[in-house]
Chains A and B, each alone.
Chain A
Amino acid sequence: MSVRPIILDHIVRIAEQQKKPLAPLTDDLPLLESGLDSLCIAVLVASLDDSLGVDPFDRDGDVPFPVTLGDFIELYEHATA
């Protein structure tokens, strides 16, 4: 199963829990304009770690920080490939 629907599902759930209105989730949406603040993104990374067993930020060195939602999903697609 692709990680994309899982990630989108987590984003919707966390936004709901944290009471944050979400922008339409398109690939070119900058993450920090999605409605999620950095704390929400930190929660998203932790909960994806729990459900997918990966934290792509964990690897030392030069993982570029994802700017858009598309970058973010791609990072996870690489990590789970």
Chain B
Amino acid sequence: MPQPDYRSLWDLTASGGLSSRRFVADASGRFVLADLARGRSLTVAPETLRGQSVLLSCERQLPAVQALLQLDGIARRILLCPPDLAPVHVPAVLEEGEVDAIVSDGTGPAAQSAGAVRMIGIGSQFIKNEQAPGRDSPTEWLLFTSGTTGRPKIVVHTLASLAGPLDDGMAIASDAVWSTFYDIRRYGGLQILLRALLGGGSMVLSQAHESVADFLARAQRCGVTHISGTPSHWRRALMSPAARDFTPAYVRLSGEVADQAILNSLAAAFPRSSIAHAFASTEAGVAFDVRDGLAGFPAALIGQAGAKADLRVVDGSLRIRSARTASRYLGDGHRLADADGFVDTGDMLELRGGRYYFVGRREGIINIGGQKVHPEEVEAVINQHPAVQMARVRGRPSPITGAIVVADIVLRSGSGTLETIRDDILETCRRALPPHKVPAMLTEVAGLEIAESGKLVRRRA
């Protein structure tokens, strides 16, 4: 239904001014936002997609950004299909999303799946608009969860729930040039794109297969001032010499537990940057950010009156209620929120000295003879060791205790071999952890896999 007062992504972007300095770029192209005031890159007039359900299928993020700007307020629904969606899931996604048209630059998971569905192209040239379409019908934005196994769930948001007001202090400086290691079709990346567009700024997109060094060098060349990524992204970035020449004003972490080691490393690498870590999930939205340079968050945030997000701890896990939570899952009838409207994040908290610390995911718990261990809490300790670049802790099945804790460790270059510092790392663990949480085995690995979602790949034992 049209709502005369609806302000679409394009309207909000244009209201920040369309100076020729405002751009969106990736490694292979760029456009100035003002181009879209004059023309379209869709091969059909956006008007022909009015009221339709549209799936975006592109490998690159740049065409997807153009499509979002052109279709919000016109399409009934936009599915932001991530590039790593397994093609085997596409038919079910098309059916569940009641997709009328695939908008694609000829690439991406659904580029070959048209069948009975219309295929709309995205060109590299702008075609003059016959007349500006009315963008006055609220569009559903459908995001895919970053689950590691099976078909991802699809979460229903709106521009209002994605871009609602926050008290997270991400200063909206006009002229800011934003960037993120994330793909903008993920919640964390989309947040950054929306900050750039709605805040009057520009956006530098990451690109698949570009090395971290090349990405950081490009970000510096493009004048990036604000940048976000997961702790795993940042650990990898700090291994690159290109990080030394990078001078962002604002560095943000989200998507995984930010431990003290990565916060300290970033503070040392970027002494003039503000560094913040945020809590957000696709379902629960952005809840808060922390700017004091310390891991965890002040306990006072729980149950605080007047905050934009209400937080609760139930059975050890964080629950969130705010105008930013998604409205529902598509299809399968899973409830997204509890009876009071709180979304259970599944992220487990521990209260220590007036601060809550994230200790890991509920489903990631390792059970050692009945005693529970969260991999993330052990990783946080190992990561404190100066020779450790990053660590992954996992359960190894054991016929004696059900499982034992083992750690795969990437050492910093020049740190020698694991044999010489094994005892030192274990001693660090023994000082900080009860005996059943101390890794039974340490293995040196050359690297650890990071998923498309920017999170460390964890295989369940």
Contacts and interface: CB of A to CB of B under 8 A. Distances in A.
Q: Which of A42, A47, A58: most chain B CB closer than 10 A?
A: A42
A39 B399 contact: no
Interface string B388-404: 00000000101111001
Contact of A43 (B399, B423, B441): B441
Interface residues of A, number: 12
Contacts of A45: 398-400
A39 B373 CA distance: 14
A41 interface: yes
B435 A39 contact: yes
Given A57-B400, A58-B399, A43 B369 contact: no
Contacts of B400: 38, 41-42, 45, 57
Contact of A39 (B404, B406, B423, B426): B404
A17 B440 CA distance: 9
A55 interface: yes
Contacts of A17: 423, 426
Interface string A39-53: 101110111000000
Contacts of B406: 46
A38 B369 contact: yes
A47 B441 contact: yes
A39 B441 contact: no
B426 A42 contact: no
Contacts of B440: 39, 42-43, 46
Interface string B114-141: 0000000000000000000000000000
Interface string A53-77: 0010110000000000000000000
A57 B397 CA distance: 11
Contact of A46 (B368, B435, B441): B441
Nearest to A44: B400
Q: Which residue, of B404, B423, B426, B440, has the highest number of chain A Cβ atoms within 10 A?
A: B440
Interface string B246-264: 0000000000000000000
Chain A CB within 10 Å — which of B404, B406, B426, B436 has the most?
A: B404
Given A17-B426, A46-B440, A47-B441, A39 B396 contact: no
Interface in A13-56: 17, 38-39, 41-43, 45-47, 55
A47 B440 CA distance: 9
Contacts of B426: 17
Nearest to B399: A57
Contact of B401 (A42, A47, A55): A42
A42 B399 CA distance: 7
Contacts of B396: 46
A55 B441 contact: no
Interface of B: 368-369, 396, 398-401, 404, 406, 423, 426, 435-436, 440-441
Interface of A: 17, 38-39, 41-43, 45-47, 55, 57-58
8 contacts: A39-B368, A39-B401, A39-B435, A43-B440, A43-B441, A46-B398, A46-B404, A55-B399
Given A38-B369, A46-B406, A46-B441, 5 more contacts: A17-B426, A39-B401, A39-B404, A46-B398, A55-B399
